[in-house]
Chains A and B, each alone.
Chain A
Amino acid sequence: MDLTEAVLITIVTASTPLLLAAIGELVVERAGVLNLGVEGMMIVGAVAAFAAAYGTGSATLGILSGALAGVALSLLFALFAVLIATNQVATGLALTLFGLGLAGLIGEPFVGKPGLRLDALPIPGLSAIPVIGPAFFTRDVLVYLSFILVVGVSLFLARSRAGLVLRAVGENPEAAQNLGYRVRLIRIAAVAFGGACSGLAGAHLSLAYTPQWAEGMTGGRGWIALALVVFATWMPSRVFLGAYFFGAIAILQLHAQAVGLGLPSQAMTALPYIATIIALVLLSRDAILLRRHTPAALGRPYVPVR
């Protein structure tokens, strides 16, 4: 295994949780809901996945439990932000605080316990490609799922009727209701999907990235995922690019620090954030494209008039 290959493998590992969480939040936001609780759902997903895998010895149950924990937390958010129409920003922030605390509490007995690592499932044929094969096609199921989700969400939004309805709800909920669509139901479904994705992102952290549980192990990745969605102008392909760009620079700057470039380490650590923001800002300069993909009703509570 040469260095390039090793670096590429870690880049994919670092990018996958960002991609999973961001693609889920993208769907939520395209439905007009801003859920700032990604970090909270992610960490509860991480602890739930670790605990279930540790307790049962089954990685599959771990993944499922991570996703379900994310869904559970997101439904709590939906209860307030969608059904009771509370302020979405405040509710999302509260969810993150709640999630971080809850995860610390649940995770207490698991600190320092050896975890389960997800098996690599080589894809026949593709895994034999040099360099790319081991990095992208000899990976765990969540890496593959993140690729499938990007393509799937992209097609869903652009081509399917259900995706069109979801975009309509995020654009103009009043008009969608006038056409007979059940705005709040659609939004709750979108929020739950986002919760599942965040939970899976957490599961990837505690079952693949670093197979163990440590308090605060998400380390702000939920916030990065949120920023990626905005800077990617709500387009799945750009979320993919953004997540990998961020992952790549985050890993490369570590290697650069190891080699010793003479730059202060703080500057190097800040590099992925700065570089990603610059790259995505440059991408989002096309005003027409931006208007077509920005959900106009984002963050606005919707109360149906009866």
Chain B
Amino acid sequence: MTVESATSAETTTGADAPAKGLAPRVAMRAIAKSFGSVRALTGVDLTVMPGEIHALLGENGAGKSTLVKILYGALKPDSGSVEFDGERIADVSPAAARSRGIVMVFQHFSLFEALSVAENIALALPGRRADTALSEEIRTISRRYGLAVEPEASVAELDVGARQRVELLRCLMQDPRLLILDEPTSVLTPQEADKLFEVLRRLSAEGCSILYITHRLEEVRQLCSGATILRRGAFIAHVDPKAETVASLARAMVGSDVPVIAEERVSERSEIALSVRDLSLPRPGLFGVALKDVSLDLHAGEIVAIAGVAGNGQRELFDALSGEQPVGSGVLFLDEVDIGTRGIAARRRAGLALVPEERNGHAAVPGLALGENIVLTRHGRTDGTVGNGVVRFSAARRLAARIREAFDVRAGEGDPPAGSLSGGNLQKFVVGREIDRKPRVLVVNQPTWGVDARAANEIRAALIALARQGSAVLVISQDLDEVFDIADRIAVMADGRLSEPQPRHDMTREAVGRLMTAGEEAEDAA
């Protein structure tokens, strides 16, 4: 909508040359880009006005990242034009983009871990060194925008929220004219996200344009005055998000109605399947989190979701449950049997199924075929994949095919290596592989991290179905929407402590958000 009005405004002013203020901050037209035989973008338009907060929407693989990388100068388009403040950009490079004031907060942070905060920021500012003058400047701007960071701190010691503040601050110190944010709220608590929105609104009022990439459509309706929707590399629509509903935006992104998870559910409490009793573990290594008196009873047939910002002990808890981190006896019970001293394979044989956070290299061996990956995880029950110690590849391939069929995993012909699957498809495969074992207890860390809406819903539905069949499911997730979608009970992990799980209907997002920061408040009070 904004495109049309802007262009028509220019044409009506006609002879007296388009006013400078009316030129869009960014106008990308008919952008196309291919990687080999894959067409990532086919004729995409994007217009962002000065001071506008503009959303870029689309499923995974829709081409959002590619488009943004072109704008940022990290990729060269095959064809199409890019205009910035009415001026056509010929040279595409990150350096040139930054000299025009195009800055970006990346989804997977682009900070230098071994360097200090000040050094990280100095690298983004031409000719600056990490001296006391710069540290002073960082403190001033961090106060002005309410983004608390310590210039001398080493980035490796910071949690994800603080890292994002550093990235944002680094962008702000470059006097941005266009700020690009890729999924900025996926690692934030609701309160932190609100703070971020305040900063963004303030920047927008100061005239900086913002291009905002997110999966969270409610945020788009709150924050953005325009939205561009992409689907499979093609331009779909330019809409006013305030005039749309979350459902209509989702429909435009996906191209069909998004399946909704059935709300009505019977969750009958039955016996306790997995019990964690006062589990405390020291900090593993330098940047880990100590677990403090974690207790949890997981009943058969229910889904308990553990919410919380990453880096609060979720990984450590998962490692303790999976057996990657030994916990000793008396703290971990599967059907009243103490499994704390058993290794990973023994726990899996006892009926525990595990889906770790990292798909490639942790949940699956990237270089091995899907069938081979199944063989590796079939401990106790081999399902015919191993006979007399010899792998039966045909059986493994059949099993892989069955899982691909059941969980709609889209991959290459035959039995392709796990590493060749896209993130969402590999995640579906990994979750499917564990569900297929009909485990007594399934523990899954970040089941839909980086997975698009459709695949995420399929995974969530599969988890719910598994619980219905009587398995106990423990989901560790940073995604609050997901937590509220699937959980019967919700607990929150903060600073290595786990809150008492509460029935979903008794929890609100605000309550979860408060629990997420409980650890920090306790520290502040101390």
Residues of A within 8 A of B (CB): 159-161, 164-165, 167-168, 171-172, 174-181, 287-288, 291-296, 305-306
Interface residue? B113 (CB, 8 A): yes
Give A30 Cβ to nearest chain B Cβ, in Å: 10
A179 touches B94 (CB 8 A): yes
Residues in A with CB closer than 8 Å to B119 are 164, 168
Q: Residues 272-293 of chain B: 1 if any A CB is under 8 Å from the residue's CB, otherwise 0?
A: 0000000000000110000000
Of A159, A172, A291, which is within 8 A of B110 by CB? A172
Residues in A with CB closer than 8 Å to B285 are 287
A159 touches B129 (CB 8 A): yes
A305 touches B112 (CB 8 A): no
B35 closest partner in A (C-beta): A305
B130 touches A164 (CB 8 A): yes
B129 touches A164 (CB 8 A): yes
Interface residue? B223 (CB, 8 A): no
User: 6 closest pairs, A vs B, by CB?
Assistant: A180-B95, A175-B110, A180-B94, A171-B112, A161-B129, A287-B286
Chain B 202-251 interface residues, beta-carbon cutoff 8 Å to A:
none
Interface residue? B122 (CB, 8 A): yes
25 A-B pairs (CB sep. < 8 Å):
A159-B129, A160-B129, A164-B115, A164-B119, A164-B129, A168-B112, A171-B112, A172-B110, A172-B113, A175-B111, A178-B72, A178-B74, A179-B98, A179-B123, A180-B73, A180-B95, A180-B96, A181-B95, A181-B123, A291-B114, A291-B154, A292-B154, A292-B156, A296-B113, A306-B75
Interface-central residue, B74, B93, B111, by most chain A CB under 10 Å: B74
B93 touches A175 (CB 8 A): no
Interface-central residue, A161, A177, A294, by most chain B CB under 10 Å: A161
Give B171 Cβ to nearest chain A Cβ, in Å: 11
Of B111, B124, B286, which is within 8 A of A288 by CB? B286
A261 to B113, CA, bound (A): 50
Interface residue? B437 (CB, 8 A): no
Interface-central residue, A167, A168, A294, by most chain B CB under 10 Å: A168
Residues in A with CB closer than 8 Å to B106 are 175, 178
> Known interface pairs A171-B113, A172-B113, A287-B286. Does A177 touch B122 (Cβ–Cβ under 8 Å)?
no
Give A62 Cβ to nearest chain B Cβ, in Å: 38
Give A246 Cβ to nearest chain B Cβ, in Å: 27
Residues in B with CB closer than 8 Å to A176 are 112, 123
A295 to B112, CA, bound (A): 10
Of A159, A167, A168, A180, which is within 8 A of B93 by CB? A180
Interface residue? B259 (CB, 8 A): no
Interface residue? B379 (CB, 8 A): no
Interface residue? B201 (CB, 8 A): no
A136 to B123, CA, bound (A): 39
> Known interface pairs A160-B129, A291-B156. Does A167 touch B72 (Cβ–Cβ under 8 Å)?
no
Residues in B with CB closer than 8 Å to A171 are 112-115
Give B191 Cβ to nearest chain A Cβ, in Å: 28
Give A159 Cβ to nearest chain B Cβ, in Å: 7
Give B65 Cβ to nearest chain A Cβ, in Å: 11
Residues in A with CB closer than 8 Å to B104 are 178
A193 to B112, CA, bound (A): 24
A174 touches B110 (CB 8 A): yes
Give A20 Cβ to nearest chain B Cβ, in Å: 26
Interface residue? B76 (CB, 8 A): yes
Of A180, A291, A295, A306, which is within 8 A of B98 by CB? A180
Give B49 Cβ to nearest chain A Cβ, in Å: 25
A172 touches B112 (CB 8 A): yes
A161 closest partner in B (C-beta): B129
Give A212 Cβ to nearest chain B Cβ, in Å: 44
A164 touches B122 (CB 8 A): yes
A167 to B130, CA, bound (A): 13
Residues in A with CB closer than 8 Å to B112 are 167-168, 171-172, 175-176
Interface residue? B143 (CB, 8 A): no
Additional 11 contacts, C-beta under 8 A, given A164-B119, A179-B98:
A160-B129, A168-B119, A172-B113, A175-B111, A175-B112, A178-B106, A180-B96, A181-B123, A288-B286, A292-B114, A292-B156
B114 touches A294 (CB 8 A): yes
Give A161 Cβ to nearest chain B Cβ, in Å: 5
Interface residue? B195 (CB, 8 A): no
Interface residue? B127 (CB, 8 A): yes
Chain B 137-158 interface residues, beta-carbon cutoff 8 Å to A:
154, 156
Give A183 Cβ to nearest chain B Cβ, in Å: 11
Q: Residues 40-84 of chain B: 1 if any A CB is under 8 Å from the residue's CB, otherwise 0?
A: 000000000000000000000000000000001111100000000
A167 to B122, CA, bound (A): 13
Interface-central residue, B75, B76, B95, B112, by most chain A CB under 10 Å: B112
B97 closest partner in A (C-beta): A180
A159 to B98, CA, bound (A): 24
A295 to B114, CA, bound (A): 8
A287 to B286, CA, bound (A): 7
A294 to B74, CA, bound (A): 27
A306 to B130, CA, bound (A): 30
Give B212 Cβ to nearest chain A Cβ, in Å: 19
A167 touches B76 (CB 8 A): no
A287 closest partner in B (C-beta): B286
Chain B 319-367 interface residues, beta-carbon cutoff 8 Å to A:
none
A278 to B119, CA, bound (A): 33
Interface residue? B39 (CB, 8 A): no
Interface residue? B88 (CB, 8 A): no
